[in-house]
Amino acid sequence: DGGITQSPKYLFRKEGQNVTLSCEQNLNHDAMYWYRQDPGQGLRLIYYSQIVNDFQKGDIAEGYSVSREKKESFPLTVTSAQKNPTAFYLCASSNLGGASFYQPQHFGDGTRLSIL
Amino acid sequence: AQRVTQPEKLLSVFKGAPVELKCNYSYSGSPELFWYVQYSRQRLQLLLRHISRESIKGFTADLNKGETSFHLKKPFAQEEDSAMYYCALKADRGSTLGRLYFGRGTQLTVWP
């Protein structure tokens, strides 16, 4: 069954700790994205990657880091530098360019991160 | 700079009433516009896109380049339409190719 899998569904972190959120896709999509969803603020882009071993900062990258070592995986690390990490995090993927430009992004179920 | 504006944070209508969720955008290129929907306890999913000019679940949206708008409309709202709706613009060029710019979302509630 094709799709995007985010894990874990819920994550708790103590202050000062780094945590890593997993995102895996088996859609063979080139591009992957991480968003943060807060009430009243919609979806804000953290990082995105259009190709393996390359990624770009989004609008709110401070306090976050990513890697793209494999096409199907795009983990997000929330570092201790992120001052307000409690949020709902969404991962997405899509194809790029040509006819696939008009294809939408596919989203995972999300991970809810809370600070203890 | 590219921007997507959804002026209504909350919108309530009664079942059977028409509903219109507003979306305005600013972008210098030729964007692709989408409406995404998130029902309670479900993942964010595509509702419709301007290129396909289709009607999904009774919803339609027409791209008006003159007014830079992409409003979502349904003539008769149903209770199951209650959800969070996001308007999104997809960039068509350069390093931002493919990334989506989302509005802040409109929470639609349809009362029985």
Residues of B in Cβ contact (< 8 Å) with A31? 98
Q: Quick one: pLDDT band at residue A98, thresholds 50, 70, 90? A: low
Of the candidates A7, A6, A9, A16, the residue with the CA atom closest to the CA atom of residue A112: A9
Q: Which residues contact B95 (CB under 8 A, 6 or more apart)?
A: A56
pLDDT of residue A100: 59
**CB spacing of B86 vs A40 below 8 angstroms:** no
First to last CA, chain B: 41
Judged by average pLDDT, the poorest of A23-32, B12-21, B26-35, B40-49 is B26-35
**CB spacing of A96 vs B51 below 8 angstroms:** no
From residue B77, give the alpha-carbon distance in Å to each of B15, B18, B110.
5, 6, 7
Select the residue of B9, B86, B92 nearest A40 (Cβ to Cβ). Answer: B9
pLDDT of residue A67: 97
d(CA B60, CA A45): 27
Q: Which helix (H) or strand (E) holds A7?
A: strand A4-7
pLDDT at A45 over 80: yes
pLDDT at A25 over 70: yes
pLDDT at A33 over 70: yes
> Mean per-residue pLDDT for A14-38?
93
pLDDT of residue A97: 64
Select the residue of A41, A48, A90 nearest B44 (Cβ to Cβ). Answer: A90
**CB spacing of A31 vs B98 below 8 angstroms:** yes
Select the residue of A42, A50, A102 nearest B49 (Cβ to Cβ). Answer: A102
